[in-house]
Amino acid sequence: MRCSCGWRSRLIGSISILIFFCSSTIAFADLISPLTLSNYNPLVSVHGLPYAGDAEVLPRGSIHARLSYDVSSHYAYDQNDNEAVLLDGETARATFIYRQGIGHDTQISLVIPYIKHHSGGLDSSINDWHEIFGMPEGGRDLVANNQFRYFYRRNSQIRLNVRNSSEGVGDVRVQAAWQVRQRTDDASAMEVSVKLPTGNSEELHGSGAVDVAILYKHEAQQKLFGLKAGSFYSLGALYLGDGDVLADMRRPLVGFGGLGGGVYLQKNLLFISQLDINTAFYSSDLVELGSHTLQLSVGGSILFGDRGRINLGVAEDLVIDASPDVTFHMGVDWRF
């Protein structure tokens, strides 16, 4: 387990100040959407926690395609009298998101992930990063680099023991969104998401269940020190179906949401920061399974006209061990 340190408090404070200014200044220009980053804890990501995405529903016939690639590094070991967990590995996730407006303020979306669980190669770099900046190692420095094992034991019974690398299509999501409100300076939408059990649950590519989520999201135009800016937030609930991954410990209802803001540093350069939270997915006394999650993401976009953009970001766990140590995000968007 890792301990929380002062640098995290300072980081949270800095981001909170940014979010405060972004949410309290007067209206200005383009709406800003959150980064498509999620909690990629291997035991959480099988349930397909939805991204907030854009609050503006596409007009009829418009198409938005997004291809993203995320790499998450995991190392967490914890135990008590009844339980023990080890999450040591790396997850690479390529995700294709297709959105299309179908009219009447409605759009449909398809989310297709391709997942690879493996030993990876980030451990040495992350250890060096922690050492340079005095960050807690969390036990990484006590074990060999680039190992792979996802293990969980409860009441002397091994419930999970994944030791072999694997890759394949994850659980596909089908979504529909409705525009609740759209004005010049803000937009709100409701979205329903249905996750289908298309991934292999034994390899933690999916949960083996149909999960259903409902989400409200809002974006507003802002101005920050004379610069174009914006704020956003979302709030949702996820119902978990009867799956194969620690099924008897699964909590049927999970809450999730996010808050953040962004500012245009230049006409085509956008900075974004956000906080994402979810409640616990499992009934457990271990943080890795039974805790809520608070994840900080920072990044931004390079815009190419009105149609294309490149997105970059990094996410860090603020509730230690509840989400990956670090996730690196990159993606490409294009509107047709």
> 218 with 234: CB under 8 angstroms?
yes
| Comparison of pLDDT for 333 and 128, the residue scoring more | 333
With CA atoms as reference, report the closest residue to 8 among 140, 129, 126, 135. Answer: 135
- Please tell me the predicted confidence (pLDDT) of residue 271: 97
> 62 with 103: CB under 8 angstroms?
no
All domains in the chain, ordered by first residue: 6-335 (2.40.160.40)
- Please tell me the predicted confidence (pLDDT) of residue 48: 84
Is pLDDT at 42 greater than 90 in this prediction? yes
Beta strands in the chain (DSSP E): 63-79, 83-103, 106-118, 149-154, 157-162, 166-169, 173-182, 186-195, 211-224, 227-239, 253-266, 269-278, 293-304, 308-317, 326-335
> 223 with 25: CB under 8 angstroms?
yes
- Please tell me the predicted confidence (pLDDT) of residue 141: 53
Q: If you average pLDDT over residues 122-150, what whole number do you get?
A: 59
Is pLDDT at 120 greater than 50 in this prediction? yes
Confidence of residue 21 (pLDDT cuts 50, 70, 90): very low
Report the alpha-carbon angle 284-327-39, nearest 5: 35
- Please tell me the predicted confidence (pLDDT) of residue 155: 95
- Please tell me the predicted confidence (pLDDT) of residue 145: 61
Query: Which two tokens mark 204?
Result: 């933690």
Is pLDDT at 221 greater than 80 in this prediction? yes
DSSP letter (8 states) at residue 247 = G
Percent of the chain at pLDDT exceeding 90: 77
Is pLDDT at 133 greater than 50 in this prediction? no
Q: If you average pLDDT over residues 11-34, what whole number do you get?
A: 52
In this structure, of 103-112, 145-154, 231-240, the range with the lowest mean pLDDT score is 145-154
Is pLDDT at 162 greater than 50 in this prediction? yes
Sign of CA dihedral 21, 27, 32, 33: positive
> 44 with 211: CB under 8 angstroms?
no
In whole angstroms, give the CA distance from residue 320 to residue 79.
15
